[in-house]
Structure 1
Amino acid sequence: MTATVEAAATPARATRPFAPFEWMVAFRYLRARNAQKSISVIAGFSFLGIVLGVAALIVVMSVMNGFRHDLMEKMIGLNGHMFLQGVETPLTDYEAVTDRVGKVPGVTLALPLVEGQAFASSPYGSSGALVRGIRGQDLERLPGVAGHITQGSLAGFDDGQGVAVGSKLAEHLSLRVGDKLTIMSPHGAETPFGVTPRMKAYTVVAIFQIGMATFDNTFIFMPLAEAQTFFNYDGQANVIEVYVADPDNMDAMRKAIEPAEQRPMIDTDWRQLNRSFFDVLGVESNVMFAILALIMLVAALNIISGLIMLVQDKARAIAVLRTMGATRGAVMRIFLITGATIGVVGTVVGLVLGLLVAHNVEPIRRGLAWLTGANLFPSEFYFLSQLPSRVETRDVIAVVALALFLSIAATIYPSWRAAKLDPVEALRYE
């Protein structure tokens, strides 16, 4: 008799956290019943919100990363990372300066240019153009052009008077390799009556496609010696473009390049020319992340409301569990598992869906354009010829971590309310 009394007085031993019975009860609460249809609908919308939020964030961040990477690669890759312009005296010693700068550790390419605005025309049309005089050996090594020749060849570029034309410009002027292109510059020969425009016809020897509409529709490359004569830069260049291995480390590269110049020059790097543009892209990316994160926040609020309704509906069952020996912690963990399951499964599904779409953005765009008959990504407005996407691991981790944090945080208050439920009050009127 004494042993029985002592056994009855001994408190029930608490089960270990997340015991099998806690998972079993939690999964039973997830299954919809006829009397809990409203709760299951809220849980379904919560699940859908998490899926769409995670997928949308991954896709949007991937597209924004793709834009930044492709624009930087094409804009900076064609224009160089650093620009050296002569001051005080004309840049007639450009070959010596180019050789010295090209030998600086970290410099991958240094090339002299003669650059000028011109007017290009053919029998079928006309357009403004940016003409660049460049040595053939440099043009073959130029990032963005080398390997992107769609018609013709750059062989013997320095020997003739041919030009390489961007694909969009060639299309606009209805030009093919072998056709004649007339280039006119407003700065021609000086006469007693003033400066007269200079006009000359050149043979198109190559057509290139960089993949950036602005460049493909504007650029014309001609031999450096011919450009010097055409633009009245006899024996000189007006800029030396420098390409480096690490464009993000321009401060250190500038300190290494300046001593190699050995003459007064104005040094400008890509950050000074494009900083505002890439800063805008960064701000847009952050704003889009914040806006789309609201979808997951709404889904988390739905999880809270659904669990609160579930706690109220299961008040009697919770009381029975408590009288059978379940601790407050066990009850809290049951509802934590119930709510967290919605968030975790929704995050996993959203992750798979987001990665699937992010890796196939361009085919999806082409499919939608074919179905609707509309140009969903006009290259003349968005600079690039196709919709870019670049999945960054750190962004995916951030999205998944945010979704899991919101999902788990949303379960804390309803689970705490379930654990605080008084079994006597819950069973008073049963």
Structure 2
Amino acid sequence: MATPAPFSRYEFLIAWRYLRAKRAEGGVSVMTWISLVGITLAVAALIITLAVRAGFRDEFVSTILGANAHVTVYSQARETETGGVTRTIPDYAEWAERLRGVEGVTRVAPLVKGQVMAVHQEQNTGLEVFGIAPEDLARIERIADPETAQGSLEDFPNGIAIGREAARSLGVGVGDVIRVINPNGVRNPFGMSPRINEYFVTYIFNSGRYDIDRTRAYLPFAEAQTYFNREGVADELEVNVTDPEQVDQIAPRLAVAGGEGAYTWTWKDSAGGFLRALEVEDTVMFVLMSVLVLIASMNIISGLVMLVKNKGRDIGILRTMGLTQGAIMRVFFLTGALVGTIGTLFGVIIGCLFAIYFDQILALVNGAAGGGVWEASVRGIYRLPAKLELNDVLSAVSLSLILSWGITLFPARRAARMNPVEALRYE
């Protein structure tokens, strides 16, 4: 007589029968159903956590790359004729032309930078002013987005562009006039006196990052050169590349193209500490959520141990009918594995739905809490998105199935080793 193949149809039928049996019939205990709910919630929590983590990193990096240079090229310090020290670039146009010739470079823009005080009526705030050509400003993705900005970039040459939070702090809108005070503005026989200019606010941008919108402003390049006493020079050149994630490979080539005395500073150099902290946090959160999945999976042991005890008579009968120890083990393994698999499936569905509708759920929670759940001034970005990634979902599913299936082996082996004579002695 041929021996049935492992995991035959009858083994699944018996396991499914035990899983559906009522407790009065010696079926699966309440503890097992609790473990199913636990696995569902743990897997859902793991998927949601991974989706929010991926969304936060994606938004954080996007706001950095969309409003800042991927690589900044600057000059080494040198002594001036008057004995001072400067890092300005007199031949910035030549540098820019050489940098544009590097493969992978998409944009090169000379900049003039300075710190100023902006004043409107009784309000004032500190700003970091970037002097930039209008055509270069129009190519900065997050700054030149017409859907989030106020005003028109066509009017930029006639005034100043400021961030949304800076405009709110000053209480100004497009068309208002602000005074910009440079403490090191005009040289006279008594030293330096502040330079005070008035500019129309022609453009208000929203970069997606609170710190940028709170402190940044843009002036036309020629105007900034005059205002900051940088006639004929630039402070640095900002460079954008096709693949910002591979910026470490292109930065050395940019330094060579810039020529002697050229140095580079990448976006990873400036944000590297925060990105490394995110990676550590990702690892810690994955471990913590994995512990929840493990705890939920371990509840399967309690349920299956009680099931094995209640089904001792059935095990004895099945053994006398010819079922091998392996078949008995597979029956109870399938019973526990079905709990883990069903819980994982429900967890994936709940977790994915939560991540897909995360914005609406967060808005609902924010409304119920009276606002302030996500504070941009603390978090740095205006929104907390969730981004579902296939690898994250597969990681959660794999972890849950491995733990739940692996733990099921212990009570299943106990059932297989049960002596049929002892099981039927008192029947």
TM-score by length of 2: 0.94
Report what 1:178 is aligned to. 175
Confirm or deny that 1:30 pairs with 2:19. yes
Counterpart-to-counterpart distance in 1, 2:235 and 2:45? 47
Confirm or deny that 1:153 pairs with 2:152. yes
Amino acid at match of 1:180: V
Confirm or deny that 1:117 pairs with 2:115. yes
Report what 1:209 is aligned to. 206
Amino acid at match of 2:61: M
Q: Choose which of 97, 100, 118 in structure 2 pairs with 1:99.
A: 97
Q: 1:252, CA displacement in angstroms?
A: 2.4
Report what 1:129 is aligned to. 127
Q: What do the CA deviations read for 1:190-224 (whole angstroms, capped 9, x no partner)?
A: 22322222211100111111111111111111101
Confirm or deny that 1:195 pairs with 2:184. no
Q: What do the CA deviations read for 1:26-53 (whole angstroms, capped 9, x no partner)?
A: 1121124243789532111111111111
TM-score by length of 1: 0.93
Task: Give yes or no for contact 1:189–1:197 (8 Å, CA) kept in 2.
Answer: yes
Counterpart-to-counterpart distance in 1, 2:386 and 2:411? 40
Q: Choose which of 10, 16, 36 in structure 2 pairs with 1:21.
A: 10
Q: 1:387, CA displacement in angstroms?
A: 1.1
Q: Which runs of 5+ in 1 are unaligned?
A: 1-11
Q: Choose which of 335, 338, 342 in structure 2 pairs with 1:341.
A: 338
Q: What do the CA deviations read for 1:282-324 (whole angstroms, capped 9, x no partner)?
A: 1001100100111110011101121111111111110111111
Moved more, 298-307 or 268-277: 268-277
SS at match of 1:155: helix
Task: Give yes or no for contact 2:337–2:408 (8 Å, CA) kept in 1.
Answer: yes
Counterpart-to-counterpart distance in 1, 2:230 and 2:356? 48
Moved more, 245-254 or 324-333: 245-254
Task: Give yes or no for contact 2:165–2:214 (8 Å, CA) kept in 1.
Answer: yes
Counterpart-to-counterpart distance in 2, 1:167 and 1:359? 29
Counterpart-to-counterpart distance in 2, 1:34 and 1:418? 18
Counterpart-to-counterpart distance in 1, 2:7 and 2:181? 80
Alignment of 1:376-395 (within 5 A): 376-395=373-392
Amino acid at match of 2:409: I
Report what 2:239 is aligned to. 242
Calculate the aligned-residue CA RMSD, in Å: 1.7
Report what 1:143 is aligned to. 141
Q: 1:103, CA displacement in angstroms?
A: 2.2
Task: Give yes or no for contact 2:19–2:27 (8 Å, CA) kept in 1.
Answer: no
Alignment of 1:25-424 (within 5 A): 25-35=14-24, 39-87=28-76, 88=78, 90-148=88-146, 150-158=149-157, 160=158, 162-424=159-421
Counterpart-to-counterpart distance in 2, 1:318 and 1:37? 12
Moved more, 379-388 or 25-34: 25-34
Identity of aligned residues (%): 39
Q: 1:227, CA displacement in angstroms?
A: 1.0
Moved more, 399-408 or 86-95: 86-95
CA distance 1:106–1:80, change in 2 (3 Å): same
CA distance 1:285–1:259, change in 2 (3 Å): same
CA distance 1:278–1:410, change in 2 (3 Å): same
Counterpart-to-counterpart distance in 1, 2:112 and 2:288? 46
